[in-house]
């Protein structure tokens, strides 16, 4: 059982100690100066020692007062922050969606306002994750790229996509046919090493190889990045030609930041899925989000 002195007395002392004045403390707490003085006096009597040395024109903390004030200030600040956080909490359902950073930034987030307008009562939280990251049980669901096999989870196929070369418009103007890539810098995603060889094979470009710097084929010439996001930024900056899923490049093409030098696109091996635990199926935000996602599928496939 806690044995605390009067909280009003502690608040009065902390404010007076912080301001160095009973008058300033009274103004902060919206009481009279006499009330502050009285509450502090009662607190000192309860504690059994003085907290202030009251001088003619000054209010000076005693040694024990100096020891007590910082802890009280920290405690009251913490209470104020927590009250603000709780007051800001929404009463509606919370939808936490895990996904890779690239699909979030380049596709989902630019479209998320339409979901918010349709369902303002649902608080949406986007969490970091992706095909290479394990599912987090704190998530309501996830949008993941894969083969549909996530043991212990429900996986609903949303859409597949195609891979298409893109580059800065000025570079695209120099590329007339796929064979011209022999003189271009190809931008690779390190963990999707087969992207370029598959596209080049479909385009009929000779000597396609992914063996490394010693091979003569255009697929081995270029730069490698750790994600599609970095690869596409390099393409926008004119570094070279990237090969990326269509849903990652839709907005950049529409805005003129990227161009497609060739019409050929090849299907991706994997698809995107909505993944969730069966126990989450009835979460209030999941069904509206699922319906909204399915409505977006047409622009991707």
Give per-residue pLDDT as tens, 58-77. Answer: 889 999 999 999 999 999 98
Lowest mean pLDDT: which of 59-73, 218-232, 234-248?
218-232
pLDDT band of residue 207 (cuts 50, 70, 90) is: very low
Lowest mean pLDDT: which of 34-38, 72-76, 235-239, 294-298?
294-298
Which residue did the predictor score with more confidence, 129 or 42? 42
Lowest mean pLDDT: which of 23-37, 123-137, 152-166?
123-137
CA distance 205 to 57: 91
Q: Are residues 145 and 65 in the same domain?
A: no
Q: Are residues 40 and 179 in the same domain?
A: no
Which residue did the predictor score with more confidence, 155 or 211? 155
Q: Are residues 117 and 66 in the same domain?
A: no
**pTM for this predicted structure:** 0.63
Task: Kindly state whether residue 184 falls inside one of the protein's structural domains.
Answer: yes
Residue 278: give the domain boundaries.
Answer: 94-160+270-299
Question: Domain end: 65, 88, 111, which one?
Answer: 88
Q: Are residues 182 and 255 in the same domain?
A: yes
Task: Kindly state whether residue 1 falls inside one of the protein's structural domains.
Answer: no
Q: Are residues 153 and 32 in the same domain?
A: no
């Amino acid at each position: 059982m806690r044995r605390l002195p009067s909280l009003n007395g502690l608040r009065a002392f902390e404010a007076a100690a912080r301001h160095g004045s009973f008058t300033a403390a009274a103004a902060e707490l919206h009481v009279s100066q006499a009330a502050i003085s009285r509450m502090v006096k009662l607190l000192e009597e309860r504690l059994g020692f003085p907290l202030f040395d009251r001088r003619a024109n000054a209010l000076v903390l005693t040694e024990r007062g100096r020891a007590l004030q910082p802890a009280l200030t920290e405690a009251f600040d913490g209470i104020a922050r927590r009250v603000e956080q709780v007051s800001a909490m929404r009463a509606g359902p919370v939808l936490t969606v895990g996904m890779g950073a690239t699909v979030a930034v380049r596709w989902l987030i630019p479209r998320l306002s339409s979901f918010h307008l349709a369902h303002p009562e649902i608080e949406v939280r986007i969490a970091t994750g992706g095909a290479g990251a394990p599912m987090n049980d704190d998530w309501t669901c996830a949008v993941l790229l894969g083969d549909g096999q996530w043991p212990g989870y429900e996986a609903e196929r949303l859409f597949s996509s195609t891979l298409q070369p893109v580059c800065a418009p000025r570079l695209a103007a120099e590329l007339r046919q796929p064979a011209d890539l022999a003189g271009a810098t190809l931008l690779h995603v390190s963990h999707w090493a087969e992207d370029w060889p598959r596209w080049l094979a479909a385009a009929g470009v000779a000597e396609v190889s992914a063996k490394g710097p010693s091979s003569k084929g255009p697929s081995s010439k270029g730069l490698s990045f750790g994600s599609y996001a970095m690869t596409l930024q390099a393409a926008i900056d004119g570094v070279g030609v990237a090969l990326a899923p269509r849903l990652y490049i839709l907005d950049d093409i529409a805005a003129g930041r990227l161009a497609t030098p060739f019409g050929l696109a090849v299907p991706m091996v994997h698809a995107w899925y909505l993944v969730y635990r069966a126990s989450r199926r009835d979460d209030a935000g999941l069904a509206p989000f699922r319906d909204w996602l399915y409505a977006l599928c047409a622009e991707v496939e």
